[in-house]
Structure 1
Amino acid sequence: MSGAGSPDFFYREAQRLGYVARSAFKLLQIQKQFKLITPGSSVLDLGCAPGAWLQVACQNLGPIEKGGSVVGVDVKRVKVPSAHCDSRVRTVCADVMSLLKGQARALSPQERGFSVILSDMCPAVSGITTKDAALSCELGMRAISLAVGKLNTPNLSDNTVVEKFLSITDPDPDEDGVLRRGGNLVIKFLENEDVQGFGKLCKLKFKNVSWLRPKATRSCSKEIYLICQGLR
């Protein structure tokens, strides 16, 4: 629904095309522009409720004989949508903030890790801008930590923003991330003065880093997506 409470274009289109939420169009645009998911990809969707990104991810795996998988993780129990999904999609009920890398890796095919990690996680918005921004950054840092593993502190000496959130990444003894080399990462943030620090961090880890505000984002929303391609 739009901010005024009346159905908007993307809401109506989601209903017409069988997507469980208008957020599907955000990933559809990201996929069209960056082609992150290829046939046979293994995809981890963090904060997958209500399932729209599961649908789009599965659509981009190609024919079922190409293989691939989509695993959604959310603190809520999420039923795999019947439309646009097939047997390659499953969901797990877990708190991403306490999910160990070994547990996440065990969800991947042959426990070899994922080729794409998507994070559409967002805090329950309180309306207190600074609080919401900080929680969004914590979720974003968590997604980065799961994806790339232990962060090299000396390389971050000039990145005070990332240092501020580094302590919440985890006390996980596993130093390796669950994103495969060459893999892609998408993270949603609530735009604030700190987010550019995450872009600088990811430029150390990925070949290409971009920011995108999808067309389906509501005008009143501060959402912005960090698109990272080609894990070094």
Structure 2
Amino acid sequence: MSGTPDFFYREAQRLGYVARSAFKLLQIQKQYKIITPGSSVLDLGCAPGAWLQVACQNLGPLGKGGVVVGIDVKKVKVPSMHCDERVTTVCADVMNLPREQVRALSPQQKGFSVVLSDMCPLVSGITTRDAALSAELGMRAIDLAVGKAAHDRTVNNAFEEVQSDGSGSSLGIDGVLQPGGHLIIKLLESEDVKEFSQICKPIFRKASWLRPKATRSCSREIYLICQGFQYRVRE
């Protein structure tokens, strides 16, 4: 990082967070209460681990249970501060990881209640190229989280396709996000981001955009906060 360390960088060091990005999730958590005690959290693009720390902090006491699973192409060591044994990391390329393998990482293989995607491409400085790569990562996060629900543009269509097999699992839900769960996606602002709203608004109770205060002034990062996945099971 060039120049004088900014406020969030200094605060991260003071409070034991491995990166200033912790404050982005802290703000999201404060405003939207995405992670609750006992949540099962999937963190896509988890390096260097700041979001793992914030997610674990919001799981509540150990007795409440919950898990945080981080996936990144880089090998990420679980930070020693703010994390406990409920946090694990996997070194893998999310772009090539089958949904079944990701679901297998969740408790009882029943999926996650929260999916976080802080994935970002290696920025080239070519605005259109970077935005396109960011959109590709964002679409992958949606595909992993909600599966074919992303292709349904009306909630009614989604409801009709899902049935229960009577065992507590649901046929037709092929993503890793549980019904009622939440999804957060980081994107770079461009014309492409409109499509994300069009996909997510029909299948979530609420979808809204946020530019966290900890975002650098020169950055085009923006987050889509999707609450309450509405792909419900029909008995």
SS of match in other structure, 2:153: helix
Q: Tell me the equivalent position of 2:83.
A: 85
CA distance in 1, matches of 2:153, 2:147: 14
**Cα RMSD (Å):** 1.3
Cα deviation, residue 218, structure 1: 0.2
Note closer, same or farther for the CA distance 1:152–1:178 as it changes in structure 2 (3 Å cut).
Answer: closer
Q: Tell me the equivalent position of 2:220.
A: 222
CA distance in 2, matches of 1:112, 1:82: 28
| Fraction of identical pairs, as percent | 76
**Counterpart among 173, 176, 179 of residue 178 in structure 1:** 176
Cα deviation, residue 155, structure 1: 3.2
Q: Is the 8 A contact 2:68 2:86 kept in 1?
A: yes
CA distance in 2, matches of 1:155, 1:66: 36
Cα deviation, residue 193, structure 1: 1.1
Letter in 2 for 1:132: D
Q: Tell me the equivalent position of 1:38.
A: 36
Return 5+ residue gaps in structure 1 as ranges.
157-173
Q: Tell me the equivalent position of 1:103.
A: 101
Note closer, same or farther for the CA distance 1:229–1:25 as it changes in structure 2 (3 Å cut).
Answer: same
Cα deviation, residue 204, structure 1: 1.3
Return 5+ residue gaps in structure 2 as ranges.
155-171, 231-235
CA distance in 2, matches of 1:28, 1:111: 27
CA distance in 2, matches of 1:205, 1:231: 6
Q: Tell me the equivalent position of 1:123.
A: 121
Matches within 5 A, 1:190-201: 190-201=188-199
CA distance in 1, matches of 2:43, 2:98: 15
CA distance in 1, matches of 2:66, 2:152: 37
CA distance in 2, matches of 1:68, 1:5: 39
Instruction: Give the alignment's TM-score, normalised by structure 1.
Output: 0.89
Letter in 2 for 1:89: V
Cα deviation, residue 149, structure 1: 0.6
Q: Tell me the equivalent position of 1:20.
A: 18
Letter in 1 for 2:73: V
**Counterpart among 186, 189, 201 of residue 187 in structure 2:** 189
Instruction: Give the alignment's TM-score, normalised by structure 2.
Output: 0.88
Note closer, same or farther for the CA distance 1:191–1:24 as it changes in structure 2 (3 Å cut).
Answer: same
